[in-house]
Structure 1
């Protein structure tokens, strides 16, 4: 069975139908590579060849590289891997330079290697489907387009225009592809697609790539052109400022693009292969493929969902509390076509919450991403009310009121009576144990935690928290709802702070500990960014607000005292108390925290923080290790204690919920990729210097002794 079906019609046009065996999508696996080599040799031997058309037997055109293969490539395979890539590209180049017209008939999405295959054709026709996506997203997995994508995009678009598609992995639809000149024509169905391809082949008996025509110049100029040279002089510094040196892929893409633009096509393709090999054998690509591809796909297919419960869809959702969280949940639900009852203590408050959706939808309309009619339809799905009776018939009610157990109990009891039969009740708490909140419910098995992240419209993750009595059916329904609104669910067991809030707190606290130790605040923030965290701990603490941190610490103390336990005061408590009660700096919402927030200007660190400054000699790497290890070790404790049940949920949740450095592949993968024995040794060193929070969990010691990774 070949991955490419070879068929010559009466007009001597060869139609190559892509059809990888045993797969729902075509990929550049070994079967495809062998088939492409056979096809290229057969085409070379044709005596009266009039043209070539690539088409697909699958629902999409081509999915891209085989990531299961790529993740296995080790440094010792570098030469073999490089030769394999070069052979694949040589076969594509053979077909591209036969002198006959080559057409890509795009029946659907073509990403990564699929788009590279399309770029290797002289003419591209796409079915006019708004769902089709094209582009080169390899950079999001720590890789670069290694099948000629860099070389051909640069030659077709020019360096500056190609950069966003290469270095950011921006995808585009049929309309944008046409406006860029990357798709030349469209068709309405499969038959018209093939007919148009045949017509074009017949009309263009001699054909070649525009960049293979003698005298062709790259749009906008090559790197020696003054305007391009001026941009390239500062581009590496701007890129380094963005990546903080954590991501080698964008830097390799820029280098391959610029170097390749100064030489002939075949040399440029070889340069691209070398950079691709370098990334493919590296650890960062493996980290990112493991989590952003395999991990997310496992979650999409329901890895942590009870398998024996039928699929479910919410038909009417109630949201209690129309503040930032409630308003965001209402918007995210309504935009997926689900009616929402948004309830607050007054209609005015509820309407304010609905106005948040209006603002987001108006922005979409102004950007041309939505019609005014569609906006009005979405808004009509949100009912703002102060009357609990309007919740009648909701099959899911989500409570999103302030973090106070008594208040949450009150609104639960008021609303729960209106649930439809078989409906479930969820609390959007970030720290309060679900089992405790469920005591206010008439049926704890139908009660669950749905922890959304702010701002809800932008944040992809939802942490689903099982209480001690939460049923498998309730968990399955919650999981299905999260996917219904196109968000990513992870599942955790109940405990104070659950997983994300608990571990997130360790990062912020480590930043404040460094401040209390006397480290300059700018050094703290920069070390966090260089670790790969999206924002520094002091900036995040301002966003969260110091008063909320104090409130959560106070509630935790009360709860622990009730269990006859104690929570010792730390240097962090002193910093928080001083900031709030002595300096009246409570965070961003209050207009003053660790940062100053001038009305017309950029926020900047407050000079008054020098009260903590001492002559403290600590290296940047030491701070980076403290930030990453304090979170990774606590994530492992969550796994060891059963708060987390899967490494996939730990890695995905740490990146999408906490912002843990994506280059690592997640908090547990950070320990794996570091080498378990090295991670153990480093955590013991940090514990000796800085305290028990860095003590390695017994599970880490066990894995180090067994010389096994955590999986």
Structure 2
């Protein structure tokens, strides 16, 4: 019998070596085909009296197993064919992998696994279903259960086997946070029994099988098995763990996320049950999650759409690859220095230009400081750090940018300054080089006027801090051509970030929509709402920080400059708001935010914890009647949502995928919703229009839904539905 995704070989000692090697993929995933073949292999090994045991490994050095293929999983469970399936039918399909691993675990023959590289999700669950585990000392060898990050829980035994191996409390930490453990961590916790060089792990696994021919069962199948650290609702430590765990989950998620609560329940109930009943319980909770809207939205945006974007879903298809070899980075400030660092880390040469040599050298020092910390922590070798630094060439001489195949500009956010450096760059490089501006608000079409070949001018908008933020917003001006788009997307792929592509407008997509969150918070302060109420409710919605805190971080004086530039550009068309009055007052008082230690919050010079400025109620008097927390949260969420919908209606966004990715990875919009467009779909567009109309009637036209949204709602359409969005317009 031959197999497509694995190899089956029995050696002279009677050891069946099962080597996973899914063709065409760098990482093994458990597809339907792989499950069928593993099932056949188990039957074959059990039926063969000459087989003394099984050793499982990977044919991909440095990569073991990533578990289920989420693209295949989402394509199946969220398909039309499954739309009318009953919960029981869904549960039966969910149970296939869990039952397969249980079949392996109870087949009666000793099972060892040799792990080299990443073993996560269903891959780690497969490892735990084996009776003996050997890991390589390769730094890439990591074990983890990341399902919580896409709104799910481990559904093939992870919530039940890990607590039975390492104890409930440590298992909760790994499963709730979705974090990985290294091979040595796994050894210390008892997840693996041996750590050895990669070349030796299969031999060591085979040796254990030969030495333990009767060890073909898991510890938890023994009648006298006890969970490490104790279990049971009468156990004081067990009760304390879940009391504290529940408080931790509530404090970190504000009860917005379904998966962490389901994980807590599954482990609490399941660990007190026999393993087979516990696995059935896990399937029940997994099924409940996958039938809900949250997991569907999170998987679609955070995995499927993100992966598609990173593979070039929005790249013009008829243009050959255009990898960067050398970029000219204009501006060595915070943004320019960060862009230079991630570019050099990707193996690309960088000419880092600033107004004088000292400023350019300071920009390079940004990278040197961060790499030094990585070396000190053992995350990077000194040789690698030196090689990265050697790729950054600080200079004050414009002629040094000669030979660059991409320009990225990140100078001061003022149209005249940008125009001047754009023209000086073209004088050295010529107009055929692609020029990318990192502006966060100024329209690309206007900035492109300073570059003679406007089809080669594009926006490449990074987020701060560059090295941590995963998104890059690519902005297409009125005259931007496909070659510039392709070049920008190829560059973003090289530096391993996630691109979205949007069309030109003031503030583009991310800055425009994110700004509404901050301004709505300011608007409520102007109306007399308490600062603590406004800021805490922002966090309660699921945003990473409150609107006042993030306004301080961005800098209030920057908001003022953007506002003034917009007023200058728009003239009578500019709409003044109460939020603008708050910005003006804070500027008058010299409160610019964290940058000068005083904004809506006070930032102690000794580095102590920030606190709300005590005089805020004096400057912005409190109203006698305060809004309810629900009202505050609704305003903060839907002010963002309506602006996202307007961006789609105006053609700034061409796809809801870009809108959801940009919102979550650009400004942290409620990840549990899958993004604003997924959220609108889950609520139903008719309900969204109803809520917005109510807000507009009470608070003004900034909440009024665009006509496209009304038309879609009237036709029962959705952003991710079958109806063509353009037809609904």
How would you bin the TM-score normalised by the shorter chain?
A: over 0.9
Deviation at 1:693, TM superposition (A): 1.6
- Given the alignment of the two structures, is residue 658 of structure 1 paired with residue 660 of structure 2, yes or no? no
Q: Is contact 1:15–1:55 with CA below 8 Å preserved after alignment?
A: yes
1: CA distance between counterparts of 2:153 and 2:189? Answer: 21
Deviation at 1:681, TM superposition (A): 1.6
Residue equivalent to 2:591: 585
Change (3 A) 1:22 1:587: closer
1: CA distance between counterparts of 2:84 and 2:378? Answer: 47
Change (3 A) 1:90 1:298: closer
* Secondary structure, counterpart of 1:417 in structure 2: helix
- Given the alignment of the two structures, is residue 530 of structure 1 paired with residue 519 of structure 2, yes or no? no
2: CA distance between counterparts of 1:127 and 1:96? Answer: 22
More moved, 357-366 vs 24-33: 24-33
Change (3 A) 1:359 1:19: closer
Q: Of residues 624, 635, 638 in structure 2, which corresponds to 1:615?
A: 624
List per-residue Cα deviations over 1:369-426 (Å, max 9, x = no partner).
0122222222222222212222121212211111000011111122233338953221
2: CA distance between counterparts of 1:176 and 1:396? Answer: 43
* Secondary structure, counterpart of 1:418 in structure 2: helix
Change (3 A) 1:189 1:158: closer
2: CA distance between counterparts of 1:258 and 1:372? Answer: 46
More moved, 637-646 vs 412-421: 412-421
Q: Of residues 209, 213, 232 in structure 2, which corresponds to 1:201?
A: 209
Q: Of residues 94, 107, 126 in structure 1, which corresponds to 2:103?
A: 94
Equivalent residues, number: 706
Q: TM-score, normalised by structure 2?
A: 0.91
Residues 443-482 of structure 1: pairs in structure 2 closer than 5 A? 443-482=453-492
Q: Of residues 64, 69, 73 in structure 1, which corresponds to 2:76?
A: 69
* Secondary structure, counterpart of 2:405 in structure 1: strand
More moved, 415-424 vs 503-512: 415-424
Q: Is contact 1:676–1:700 with CA below 8 Å preserved after alignment?
A: yes
2: CA distance between counterparts of 1:335 and 1:150? Answer: 37
Residues 137-536 of structure 1: pairs in structure 2 closer than 5 A? 137-185=146-194, 194-207=202-215, 208-213=217-222, 215-222=224-231, 226-227=236-237, 229-419=239-429, 422-536=432-546
Q: Is contact 1:316–1:338 with CA below 8 Å preserved after alignment?
A: yes
Deviation at 1:437, TM superposition (A): 1.0
2: CA distance between counterparts of 1:393 and 1:8? Answer: 58
Q: Is contact 1:260–1:271 with CA below 8 Å preserved after alignment?
A: yes
2: CA distance between counterparts of 1:703 and 1:184? Answer: 58
2: CA distance between counterparts of 1:584 and 1:474? Answer: 42
Q: TM-score, normalised by structure 1?
A: 0.93
List per-residue Cα deviations over 1:332-355 (Å, max 9, x = no partner).
111222222212112121222222
2: CA distance between counterparts of 1:421 and 1:548? Answer: 31
* Secondary structure, counterpart of 2:214 in structure 1: coil
Deviation at 1:194, TM superposition (A): 4.5
- Given the alignment of the two structures, is residue 709 of structure 1 paired with residue 718 of structure 2, yes or no? yes
More moved, 30-39 vs 606-615: 30-39
Residue equivalent to 1:574: 581
* Secondary structure, counterpart of 2:86 in structure 1: helix
Deviation at 1:268, TM superposition (A): 2.5
Residue equivalent to 1:603: 610
2: CA distance between counterparts of 1:669 and 1:464? Answer: 22
Deviation at 1:226, TM superposition (A): 4.7
Q: Of residues 540, 544, 549 in structure 1, which corresponds to 2:559?
A: 549
Q: Is contact 2:91–2:284 with CA below 8 Å preserved after alignment?
A: yes
More moved, 296-305 vs 24-33: 24-33
Q: Of residues 30, 53, 56 in structure 2, which corresponds to 1:54?
A: 56
List per-residue Cα deviations over 1:276-295 (Å, max 9, x = no partner).
12211111101100101111
More moved, 420-429 vs 446-455: 420-429
Residue equivalent to 1:687: 696
Change (3 A) 1:111 1:422: farther
* Secondary structure, counterpart of 2:573 in structure 1: coil
List per-residue Cα deviations over 1:61-118 (Å, max 9, x = no partner).
4332233234456696322223344454334223213342102243543321121112
* Secondary structure, counterpart of 2:248 in structure 1: helix
* Secondary structure, counterpart of 1:607 in structure 2: coil
2: CA distance between counterparts of 1:257 and 1:351? Answer: 53
* Secondary structure, counterpart of 1:287 in structure 2: helix
Q: Of residues 633, 637, 658 in structure 2, which corresponds to 1:624?
A: 633
Residues 6-21 of structure 1: pairs in structure 2 closer than 5 A? 8-18=10-20
Residue equivalent to 2:569: 559
Q: Of residues 622, 638, 654 in structure 2, which corresponds to 1:645?
A: 654
* Secondary structure, counterpart of 1:328 in structure 2: helix
Q: Which runs of 5+ in 1 are unaligned?
A: none
1: CA distance between counterparts of 2:117 and 2:556? Answer: 50
Q: Is contact 1:319–1:398 with CA below 8 Å preserved after alignment?
A: yes
List per-residue Cα deviations over 1:2-49 (Å, max 9, x = no partner).
866665555443444546689776544544555555555555555554
Change (3 A) 1:173 1:423: farther
* Secondary structure, counterpart of 2:489 in structure 1: helix
2: CA distance between counterparts of 1:212 and 1:327? Answer: 57
2: CA distance between counterparts of 1:58 and 1:675? Answer: 45
- Given the alignment of the two structures, is residue 113 of structure 1 paired with residue 113 of structure 2, yes or no? no
Residue equivalent to 2:725: none
- Given the alignment of the two structures, is residue 668 of structure 1 paired with residue 674 of structure 2, yes or no? no
Deviation at 1:173, TM superposition (A): 4.6
